[in-house]
Amino acid sequence: MTSSSAFSPSSAFSALSAYGWDDGWAEAFAPYGAEGLVAGRVVRVDRGQCDVVTAGGVLRADTAFVTPHDPLRVVCTGDWVAVEPAGSPRYVRAYLPRRTAFVRSTSSKRSEGQILAANVDHAVVAVSLALELDLGRVERFLALAWESGAQPVVVLTKADLVPDVTTLSHLVQDVETTAPGVQVLAVSSQRGEGLDVLAETLSGGTSVLLGQSGAGKSTLANALLGEEIMEVQATRDMDGKGRHTTTTRNLLALPGGGVLIDTPGLRGVGLWDAETGVGQVFSEIEDLAAKCRFQDCAHDAEPGCAVRAAVEDGELPQRRLESYRKLLRENQWIVAKTDARVRAELRREWKRKGAQGKAAMEAKRGRLR
């Protein structure tokens, strides 16, 4: 972006609209504007500093005021901020209330959430076709995406590596059954297939690219941008333990409209309080569950269970039910680590189950005696 000398509120509006500025942001920013602060969007955060795109160009600013102890309230890529017009350092004074936020759990041992991107409309889950499809991982990314408030899109990358169209359409179908309500696209950044359809989908709003390291996110970003902006790794080992190429997040305006945020590959995608997200990923299971005889059916051994009936009919894959249970359990665990009330409820439940299990064991032993 070049800096403009003719700085006026209307030119500010048009310069920032390519970055997603709209009437809602203008309204939220108004009190800061009255204080003489400058509006901008964070394109990169880097150890206490961030780059902010403003109507007058990209500014570097200090984030000390917007780096509180709570990791979910730290300024991040995608935030709209109010920056001081001058100063050395120049400070980000506030960020505007977020519409959506993409949060993951940082590690399985700690209950800390990490915010990856803010104000995102589409979450693009990049899945490489160079590796065997891991539907469980796709479901995990989708749960996080739904929970964030963004609309997920699954992009199967490196389609040029799939030997024939029949195999490719089967792969797309497999992912489609795993992702109800989600658009699934196969693309090749190398050959260009599928890029126009994707560009169209992303043209309205802000999108974040998610996926494992090596999935081809940065290559895809470059292909959509039509220029080499993101650094791409030349070679890599296929086990996902390799060096992460993209180390900082970047936000860029797409030529066909829309804004794209590239992220470094996520080694672990821990859920972060994603019960609603999990429910949406497995919407067909939740629909079936509504038909179970008991409202609190655990789909184990209860009579009149519509979910188990669907598994027996082959209508619902067993893998899918197990995956659903696993993600729900994991999510309960995350929530339990953070919310004392839920934790207490779970403990009571475990005690009850433990007592039931013990009674059942004793009864069994009694019969054997």
Ligand X SMILES: Nc1nc2c(ncn2[C@@H]2O[C@H](COP(=O)(O)OP(=O)(O)OP(=O)(O)O)[C@@H](O)[C@H]2O)c(=O)[nH]1
Note the residues at the interface with ligand X (CB under 6 A). 157-158, 160-161, 188-190, 211, 213-219, 232-233, 236, 244-246, 264-265
CA distance 328 to 325: 5
Binds 143: which of ligand X, Zn ion, Mg ion, none (CB < 5-8 Å by kind): none
Out of 230, 292, 321, 327, point to the residue binding Zn ion (CB under 5 A).
292
| CB 316, CB 288: distance < 8 Å | yes
Phi and psi at residue 157, in whole multiples of 5°? Answer: -90, 165
CB of residue 212 to Mg ion, shortest distance in Å: 10
CB of residue 320 to Zn ion, shortest distance in Å: 14
Interface with Zn ion includes 321 (CB under 5 A)?
no
Contacts of 168-173 with C-beta under 8 Å, sequence gap 24+, read 168/129, 171/129, 171/133
Instruction: Name which of 157 and 280 has its Cβ closer to ligand X.
Output: 157
Instruction: Name which of 20 and 211 has its Cβ closer to Mg ion.
Output: 211
The amino acid sitting at 259 is V
Site for Mg ion, rule CB under 5 A: 217-218, 245-246
Out of 153, 156, 210, 305, point to the residue binding Zn ion (CB under 5 A).
305
Site string for Zn ion, 235-274 (x = CB under 5 A): ----------------------------------------
| CB 75, CB 50: distance < 8 Å | yes
Instruction: Name which of 220 and 305 has its Cβ closer to Zn ion.
Output: 305
Binds 219: which of Zn ion, ligand X, Mg ion, none (CB < 5-8 Å by kind): ligand X
Interface with Zn ion includes 307 (CB under 5 A)?
yes
Binds 307: which of ligand X, Zn ion, Mg ion, none (CB < 5-8 Å by kind): Zn ion
CB of residue 245 to Mg ion, shortest distance in Å: 5
Residue 200 CA neighbour count, 13 Å, CB half: 6
CB of residue 207 to Mg ion, shortest distance in Å: 15
Binds 158: which of Mg ion, ligand X, Zn ion, none (CB < 5-8 Å by kind): ligand X
**Secondary structure letter of residue 233 according to DSSP:** -
Which stretch in 24-32, 66-74, 157-165, 296-304 sits in contact with Zn ion by CB under 5 A? 296-304
DSSP lists the bridge partners of residue 186 as 156
Q: What is the DSSP string of 240-251?
A: S-S--S--S-EE
Contacts of 86-93 with C-beta under 8 Å, sequence gap 24+, read 89/61, 89/62, 90/59, 90/60, 90/61, 90/62, 91/61, 91/62, 91/63, 91/64, 91/65, 92/42, 92/50, 92/52, 92/61, 92/62, 92/63, 92/65, 92/66, 93/32, 93/37, 93/65, 93/66
CA distance 262 to 205: 14
3 state SS of 78: coil
Interface with Zn ion includes 310 (CB under 5 A)?
no
Instruction: Name which of 203 and 233 has its Cβ closer to ligand X.
Output: 233
Q: Which residue is nearest to ligand X (CB)?
A: 265
Residues that bind Zn ion (CB under 5 A): 292, 297, 299, 305, 307
